[in-house]
């Protein structure tokens, strides 16, 4: 998990088809980290129709493992990293700001 210290960690809580998710997708910069939480982990499913758009955005995408389990997402796309709470803390330490998208 190497991230530039000036990165913003984008935490997406909203459904992958929500206005918040679409606004984030429209403005995400390449190599910026996005952490999928709550309903947003549905986007991590390899068969989700939005996955190609997110992957081609250049964002570095993480999904909280506990939420993947809670939403029964088992077929996680290979470009999305399963992340523990400890990994979330490490991401937070490397990113001076976090933006919550709901």
Instruction: Render each residue's pLDDT in the chain as its tens digit; 102 residues.
Output: 444 457 899 999 999 999 999 999 999 999 999 999 999 999 999 999 999 999 999 999 999 999 999 999 999 999 999 999 999 999 999 998 999 999
Is the overall model pTM greater than 0.85, yes or no? yes
What is the model's pLDDT at position 34? 98
What is the model's pLDDT at position 4? 46
Nearest-angstrom CA–CA distance, 76 and 29 = 22
Residue extents of the structural domains in the chain: 8-101
Would you say 20 and 14 are in contact if contact means Cβ atoms under 8 Å apart?
A: yes
Nearest-angstrom CA–CA distance, 19 and 97 = 22
Quick one: residue 71, left, alpha or beta (phi over 0 = left, psi -120 to 50 = alpha)? alpha
* CATH class of this structure's domain 8-101: alpha beta
């Amino acid at each position: 998990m190497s991230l530039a210290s000036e990165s913003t960690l984008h935490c997406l809580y909203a459904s992958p088809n929500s206005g918040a998710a679409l606004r984030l997708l429209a403005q995400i910069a390449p190599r910026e980290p996005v952490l999928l939480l709550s309903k947003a982990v549905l986007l991590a499913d390899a068969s989700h129709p939005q996955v190609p758009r997110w992957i081609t955005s250049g964002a570095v995408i993480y999904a909280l493992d506990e939420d993947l389990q809670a939403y029964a997402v088992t077929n996680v796309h290979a470009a999305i990293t399963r992340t523990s709470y400890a990994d979330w803390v490490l991401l937070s330490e490397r990113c001076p700001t976090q933006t919550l998208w709901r």
